[in-house]
Amino acid sequence: MARRARWGAASLGGDKSYVLTLMDVDQSALTGLMSYLRAQLTKLGEKSTVALRAAYADRADLVENGEIINAFVEDALSFCRPTTSLEAIKGSTLIFEAIIEDKNIKLDVLKKIDALCPDAYYLTNTSSIPIGVIDKGVPLNGRIIGYHFYNPPAVQKLLELISPKGVKPELVEVGVELAGKLRKKVFLANDIAGFIGNGHFMRDILHATSEVKRLAQEVGEAEAAYMMNRVSQEFMVRPMGIFQLIDYVGIDVCRFIMNVWTAR
């Protein structure tokens, strides 16, 4: 995801012009994304009719709430440019990267992007790869920070901001300001594999699987997994048990994160 904009080095505010380019290799994924954005914007509009009436006060042609909400949705979507072409992001100034959790693939894609956007700042949603590794591997010379959302991002308020050594100070300021506009609670994390959230998550997985192996000798593997899932949910007062959470996050994602740990 890339943003073309005119903006101050440490500010996203003021009278600025934005275009949001949404890039994915899968057209069906982009179609689904645009449908999701439309649905979310409609919900937001329905909850903000009073504010929208004030914002569209100069539009005499908009009378009913539904008309105003539709105008808001279409205006918001007009800033979005879905594309499967990497060339379409050329000249972007702020890049948000959230591709597969594979270091080599990330570095390869980011090198191609940086050739098109040599002055861009980068926010990476990597779940585990140290930001310094990405920064040096491209290289981006301090133009990247970790911007790790918790799943699902539209609901969870927590956001980890990870600053590698040599990061541009103005990028950190922009990251904090953007998080505020997104109504997220920022936690500053050290630049180590897994950061805060996934560091604990991976340790929980290792402990749970170890306990399942031990208990399986007495009650069987299925019962042992059920027991650990219930214990990690009810006794630790969590919305999901450890194995439910693994399934929700994705076994593939957990494997990628574990591979990063193993490699280091």
Q: Which element (helix H / strand E) includes 210? A: helix 197-219
Q: CA-to-CA distance for 92 and 83, rounded, in angstroms?
A: 14
Average pLDDT over residues 18-34: 93
pLDDT band at 263 (very low <50, low <70, confident <90, very high): low
Pair of tokens at residue 49: 């009719």
pLDDT band at 15 (very low <50, low <70, confident <90, very high): low
Burial of 217 (0-12, 13-18, 19+ CB in 10 A): exposed
Counting every residue, how long is the chain? 264
In this predicted model, what pLDDT tens digit does every residue of 69-127 receive, in sequence order?
999 999 999 999 999 999 999 999 999 999 888 899 999 999 999 999 999 999 999 98
pLDDT at residue 62, as a whole number: 93
More confident residue, 60 or 258: 60
pTM of the prediction? 0.82
In this structure, are residues 22 and 83 in contact, taking their beta carbons and an 8 Å threshold?
Answer: yes
Q: CA-to-CA distance for 128 and 113, rounded, in angstroms?
A: 21
Neighbours of 196 (CB within 10 A): 16
In this structure, are residues 246 and 205 in contact, taking their beta carbons and an 8 Å threshold?
Answer: yes
In this structure, are residues 95 and 122 in contact, taking their beta carbons and an 8 Å threshold?
Answer: yes
Pair of tokens at residue 212: 């399942």
Mean pLDDT for the chain overall: 89
**Backbone φ, ψ for residue 4 (5° rounding):** -95, 130
In this predicted model, what pLDDT tens digit does every residue of 27-83 receive, in sequence order?
999 999 999 999 999 999 999 999 999 999 999 999 999 999 999 999 999 999 999
**Could you give the 3-state DSSP secondary structure of residue 21?**
strand
Q: CA-to-CA distance for 163 and 169, rounded, in angstroms?
A: 9
pLDDT band at 198 (very low <50, low <70, confident <90, very high): confident
Residue 10 has pLDDT above 60, yes or no: no
